[in-house]
Chains A and B, each alone.
Chain A
Amino acid sequence: MSHPIPALEVRGLGKSFPIGGLFSRDSVRALHGVDLTIGRGEIVALVGESGSGKSTLARCVARLEKPGEGAILLAGVDVLKRDRFQASRAFRSQLQMVFQDPFGSLNPAHRIEHFLRRSLAIHGKGGHTETETQTRLEELMATVGLQADMLDSYPHELSGGQRQRVAIARALAVEPQVILADEPTSMLDVSVRIGVLNLMRKLRDEKGISMLYITHDLASARYLADRTAVMFAGELVEEGESLDLLANPAHPYTQLLVSAVPDPARAGSYDPIRRAQLRQAVMASTGCAFDRDPDQPCSADEPVRHQVGGPENRHWVRCHLYRPRAGAGGHALAAEPAAAASTQAGHPASNLPKKASA
C-alpha cells in the first residue's frame, strides 16, 4: 500500500478494567501498548483466544469503550483528541461495526427497510427525494447480494446469513472508510460463512473499504485477510502477511493456535491429548513478558520486535525465545505447522530452545 496515510492507525493503546468492589483499586489489564496499522483497502485479521483482548480492542477503536492511553488515528486524525468525550457523528460515518450476532443486532419489531433507511437518514446519505432514497436502498441490497423485495421482510423471516448481510448493508449505508467486523461469521452456518467472507472481500475490492476482521478462526483469517495480527493477553505478539504468518508461526502462542486447528490434511496423526499437554508447556514457558516471573528466562524486560524472514512478508514477532536462524532443531511445536506447510518455502522461522516444550 503506497498511500502515505493509513486508513486506521492505533498507537500504544492501553485499557484496564477495575475489578473488585466499589472501593477496590485493583484493575485487570485488558490491552497494553497495542500498535496496529490498517492501510487503505487492506483487510487485517486480529486473532486470539477468548479473553485475549480482541474485542476490547475493537470496542476501544469503535469508541464504545474509553481507552486508558494511546491514540487512534482515522485517516491521520487523532479521534480521541477530536471528539473528547464520545464518538461524534463524523466519526461514525467514517467507521462502522458489524457484530457477531445477527440475531441480536436487528430489532425484531422493524422491517429491514427501517434499519437501512435510518442509517441513511442519520448520516444524510439518503439523497434529497424519496426516489433517491429508494434507489439507494435497492443499491444497498444488491451490493450485499439480497433481493430488493426483502426490504419488506422482518428479521425473523431471514436466515442467519441474510441477516448478517443486512447488518453489513446497514454499515455500508453510511459509506464508511473502515469496517470493524467482530466475529461476523461465527454464528452462521458453514455453507453461508464463505459467502459472507467473499462479500467482505468484494467490498474491499470494489469500494476500497479497509477492514479489521476479528476472529478466532485462523483458516478464515488466512482466507480473507492480507495481514494477520495475533493477540495474546492484551498485547500483539506477532503480525505478518497471512500466508507467511500461518506457514511460519514464530511465537509459541501462534504455533499453539495453528496446531489447535483441526485439519485432516495435516501430515502426521492427530493426537489431541498431546496437543493439550503442549499447550500447558507453552503456557508455562511463555508466561514471559506477561507474567513478570523472575524464574523464567523471558521475564523482566518487554520483548522487542524481531523481523521474521524477509521484509516483504512484513512479519515480526515479539518474544524473548525467538532466535532468528539459530540452527536446526527448534521448538517442539514448530515442527508441526512447518511440516504441514508444504507450499511456502519460507525461512526456518522458529528456532526456539528445546526447554519450552519440556
Chain B
Amino acid sequence: MTVSQTSFGSHEPVLDVRNLTVQYTGDTRSTTAVDRVSFSIGTGEVFGLAGESGCGKSTIANSIMRLLKDPAKIAGGSITFGGRDVLAMSPDELRRFRWQDVAMVFQSAMNSLNPVLTIGEQIVDIFTTHAGLSRRESLRRAGELLELVRIDPARLKSYPHQLSGGMRQRAVIAMAVALKPSLLILDEPTTALDVVVQQEIMAQIKELQRELGFSVLFITHDMSLMVELSHRMAVMYGGRIVETAKAHDVYADPRHPYTQALMGAFPPLTGPRVPLTGLPDGVKFRNIPDLAEVAPGHLVAPFGADDLSIPRGVHVTGDEAAALEGAIR
C-alpha cells in the first residue's frame, strides 16, 4: 500500500483558507502576492503547495502563522484553524497558536539555529517558554525528542556546528513537533540537502506523522517529491492556484499548461532521453480566472485556447530539437 492511501484522515478540516489575498504595498504601487486563494487541509492529511519562487507559496505559509511584516498586508479572505479565526487572534492567543497548534520548518532552518547555544538549550527553551515546564523536565523531554528523530540524546550538549546539515535539519523538525502541533508547515524542508539526506528527512517526517497524526502543509517546487508525499496538492502561479486535485491525479493528468510545464521540467530517470524545455521563455499567464471542476475533485483554472498548451512532458521548438538530436541515441 502506498503512503498516499494510508491515513487519509477525516474530512473535518484542520485548516481552512478562504479567498486569502495578500498585498505588498509600496509608495507608488502595490503587488498582489496572493490572490483569492482557497484550500483546506483535513486531519492527518498531507497537502502540497507547488510553485516557483515568487508565486506566493511562502507568503501563504507566513500568513497562516501571522508572520507577515510590513509592507505585506492581508487584504481579504479568512484563515480558520480548528474553528477559530486566525486573523482575529490577540497577541496572547497568537503566542499559544504558534508552535502549539501550528509549527513551521523554514527553508534553511538548519542555519537558523543559534550558533552559541547548544541544541539542548534551544529545545529546553521551547518547553520552558511555551509549556511552562521545569528545566529538569524540559531536559528529559528534549532527550526524548532527539531520540524520536534518531539523534543520540548525548548530542543535546552539542553546538549546531558540530552536527551535519541533515542532523541539524532533523533537530529543527524535532523542535517543530515538540509541542505536538496539529499542523506542521514545511517550507522547502529539504532544498539545501542532497538526495539521500532528503530521503531520510522525508522518511522521518512520514514516520512522525504516522506516530503523532498531525496534518502537513508541504511547500516545495520539486513536483516529483510532492507527488510522492502528498495526498492532495495545489499548483500556484502568480499568486493564484491554477490547479488542485489529488496528487496522483495531478501527476497522471495535469490539465493546466503551467502544471504541464512544471511536470515537464524534470527529466525522467527511465525511458528514452527526450528533449525538454521547462517553461518556454516569455510565457506568462495573466488574469487567471477562478477554478472550475473538470473531474471529481480535480479543479483547474480555465485557460483560453490561445494560451500556451504543451503536450505532456515534451514540448520542443524546431531548432532546439535539431540541437538535441545528436545527443539522443
Contact = CB atoms under 8 A, between A and B. Distances in A.
A343 B271 CA distance: 5
Contact of B203 (A205, A265, A275): A275
Contact of A219 (B266, B279, B326): B266
A222 B197 contact: no
A342 B271 CA distance: 7
A275 B320 contact: no
A190 B267 contact: no
Contacts of B202: 272
B323 A270 contact: no
Nearest to A243: B273
Interface in A215-257: 216-220, 222-223, 226, 243, 246-247, 256-257
A265 B268 contact: yes
B201 to A, nearest CB: 9
Given A223-B276, A246-B269, A273 B195 contact: no
B262 interface: yes
B320 A198 contact: yes
Given A201-B324, A276-B200, A194 B269 contact: no
A190 B320 contact: no
Given A202-B323, A257-B195, A341-B270, A272 B206 contact: yes
Contacts of A223: 267, 273, 276
Contacts of A264: 224, 227-228, 248, 251
A145 B204 CA distance: 42
Contact of A198 (B1, B206, B323): B323
Contact of B277 (A145, A195, A220): A195
Contacts of B278: 190-195
A44 interface: no
B198 A260 contact: yes
Contacts of A256: 196
B265 A269 contact: no
A347 to B, nearest CB: 17
Interface residues of A, number: 49
Interface of A is mostly: helix
B189 to A, nearest CB: 13
Contacts of A320: none
Interface in B183-221: 193-200, 202-204, 206-207, 221
A260 B227 CA distance: 15
Contacts of A273: 203, 206-207
Nearest to A342: B270
Nearest to A253: B196
B194 A49 contact: yes
B281 interface: yes
B3 A269 contact: yes
A272 B199 contact: yes
Contacts of B121: none
B327 interface: yes
Interface string B255-286: 00000011011111111110111110100000
Interface in B224-248: 224-225, 227-229, 248
A263 interface: yes
Interface in B271-329: 271-273, 275-279, 281, 320, 323-324, 326-327, 329
Contacts of B28: none
Contact of A190 (B195, B222, B277): B222
A270 B203 contact: no
Contacts of B267: 194, 219-220, 222-223
A263 B204 CA distance: 19
A160 B165 CA distance: 24
Contacts of A266: 269
A140 interface: no
Interface of B: 1-3, 52-53, 165, 193-200, 202-204, 206-207, 221-225, 227-229, 248, 251, 261-262, 264-273, 275-279, 281, 320, 323-324, 326-327, 329
Given A190-B223, A219-B268, A261-B195, 14 more contacts: A190-B52, A190-B265, A201-B323, A201-B324, A216-B195, A219-B269, A226-B327, A261-B269, A262-B224, A262-B225, A264-B251, A269-B1, A271-B3, A341-B270
Interface of A: 49-50, 145, 160, 189-195, 198, 201-202, 205-206, 216-220, 222-223, 226, 243, 246-247, 256-258, 260-266, 269-273, 275-276, 279, 340-343
